[in-house]
Amino acid sequence: MMLHKLQFDDFDEPVFHAFAIHTTIEPYRLSFFLNEKLQIHLKPNDKGFEAVFKKEIRTFTGYSYHNEDTDEIFDLVKNSQTFIETLKPAANSLFNDSIEWRSAKMYLVPEFKKADYILRIENAAQAPEELAEKIKTIPTTTFVQLLNVDELKSKNNLIFY
């Protein structure tokens, strides 16, 4: 009987870099500038990016690009999204038939609430510091920070399928 011994390397997590981008421009303009500066072709992602919050799957909008030659994957995601939640009425409420709605703002990376966008790059061909310098040259970009993914509590939110 043949045995297969599992190694820790069998369960590698994806290797990626993430950048927090602070800017006031709209996502389509930022993707245009990123395409220009990084020589990529970000396009709107129809599926969106899913993240789990309080046992519910939430979808964030964004842009994606996959370079087939180098196997680089670029994902630009808006860090905050406003969702509409339905609230259950109290059991002994006078208005049991009514449905209450509430809007809730959720963050893809809650540790960086002031970041407007998160740029995630998987299998980057360039050094992350070089990429950060190129991103900083985008007009109206006030701050770009390379995130230490290993220290993030919400790093699982950045693993897209």
2 is a domain residue: no
What number of H helices and E strands is found in the chain?
A: 2, 10
Total domains in the chain come to 1
Q: What is the mean pLDDT of the chain?
A: 84
The range of the structural domain enclosing residue 84 comes to: 15-89+99-158
Q: For residue 3, is it within any domain?
A: no
Query: What's the mean pLDDT in 78-103?
Result: 71
Q: Is the pLDDT of residue 147 over 60?
A: yes
pLDDT tier for residue 90 given thresholds of 50, 70 and 90? low
How far is 97 from 88, CA to CA, in rounded Å?
10
98 pLDDT band, cuts 50/70/90, is low
Q: Taking residues 21-47, what's their average pLDDT? A: 94
pLDDT at position 96: 60
Q: Is residue 8 part of a domain?
A: no
Residue 10 lies in a domain: no
Q: How far is CA 151 from CA 107, 109, 147, 156, in A?
A: 17, 12, 9, 11
DSSP H or E run through 145? strand 141-147
Identify the residue with better confidence: 141 or 59. Answer: 141
Give domain status of residue 78, yes or no. Answer: yes
Kindly state the tokens that stand for 17.
């870099």
SS3 readout for 60-110: ECEEEEEECCCCEEEEEEECEEEEEEEECCCCCCCCCCCCEEEEEEEECCH
Average pLDDT over residues 41-45: 94
